[in-house]
């Protein structure tokens, strides 16, 4: 009950008792044409940031990743360097969000070169409220949780919660009106969105906006 109340206080929209999925293959992410919910996150300084669909100054790209402990996520963050600078030059904000606690967003990255040179805006969704709202949250089964521990991956330690939830890797491109213009979600965490496809989607959005 305490966990549910805490999530209600953090987010102005109502969530249900089980607003996650039992498996990554079952997620039903928000679709293009859907207005995003208002949501609250924390940055690496533990500062609270609120995203509201009616108060956006720029279009933005939001990418959900499993955590800094995930080698595939590290590889994807490194690859996304190819697109981030271009997206920013086109007027987009670029955010990466994971269940890692704010103080672990940088610390947990396994790629030391990436950690030293990263210029991304990393966000914490430790309670997984945002992933739930975007409908990409799923519960990791107990067998996998224990297997992760054998690999020195402690989901409870990295998030600070006992929910054992992770996001299916996903990317959403959101317009200035708060409406999702493009999304890519793949339950197979080994397969990630190519920067070239994201750039094509961003340019298409600007073209449709007459920019």
The total of structural domains in the chain comes to: 1
Residue 141 covered by a domain: yes
Print pLDDT tens along the chain (211 aa): 334 333 333 344 444 446 899 999 999 999 999 999 999 999 999 999 999 999 999 999 999 999 999 999 989 988 887 789 899 999 999 999 999 999 998 775 655 555 555 667 899 999 999 999 999 999 999 999 999 999 999 999 999 999 999 999 999 999 999 999 999 999 999 999 999 999 999 999 999 988 6
Structural domain contains residue 1: no
SS3 annotation, the chain: CHHHHHHHHHCCCCCCCCCCECCHHHCCCCCCCCECCCEEEECCCCCEEEECCCCCCCCEEEEECCCCCCHHHHHHHHHCHHHHHHHHHCCCEEEEEECCCHHHCCCCCCCHHHHHHCCCEEEECCCCHHHHHCCCEEECCHHHHHHHHHCCCCHHHHHCCCCCEEECCEEEEECCCCEEEEEEECCCCCCCCCHHHHHHHHHHHHHHCCC
For residue 120, give its domain range. 56-208
40 found inside a domain: no
User: What local confidence, expressed as pLDDT, does residue 71 receive?
Assistant: 92
What pLDDT score does 107 carry?
73
CATH number of the domain where residue 171 is located:
3.40.30.10
Residue 23 lies in a domain: no
Residue 69 belongs to a domain: yes
- What pLDDT sits at residue 69? 92
Answer yes or no: is 24 within a domain.
no
């Amino acid at each position: 009950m305490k966990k549910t109340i805490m999530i209600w206080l953090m987010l102005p929209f109502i969530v249900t008792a089980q607003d996650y999925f039992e498996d990554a293959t079952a997620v039903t992410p928000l679709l293009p044409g859907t207005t995003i919910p208002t949501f609250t996150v924390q940055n690496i300084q533990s500062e609270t940031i609120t995203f509201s669909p009616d108060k956006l100054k720029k279009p933005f790209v939001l990418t959900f990743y499993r955590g800094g402990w995930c080698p595939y996520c590290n590889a994807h963050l490194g690859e996304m360097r190819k697109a981030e600078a271009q997206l920013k030059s086109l007027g987009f904000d670029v955010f990466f969000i994971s269940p890692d606690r704010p103080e672990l967003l940088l610390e947990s990255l396994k790629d030391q070169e990436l950690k030293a040179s990263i210029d991304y805006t990393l966000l914490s969704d430790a309670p997984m409220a945002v992933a739930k709202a975007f409908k990409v949250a799923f519960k990791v089964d107990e067998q996998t949780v224990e297997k992760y521990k054998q690999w020195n991956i402690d989901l409870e330690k990295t998030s600070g919660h006992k929910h054992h939830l992770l996001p299916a890797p996903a990317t959403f491109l959101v317009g200035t009106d708060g409406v999702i213009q493009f999304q890519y979600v793949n339950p197979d965490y080994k397969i990630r969105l190519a920067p070239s496809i994201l750039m094509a989607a961003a340019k298409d959005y600007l073209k449709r906006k007459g920019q």
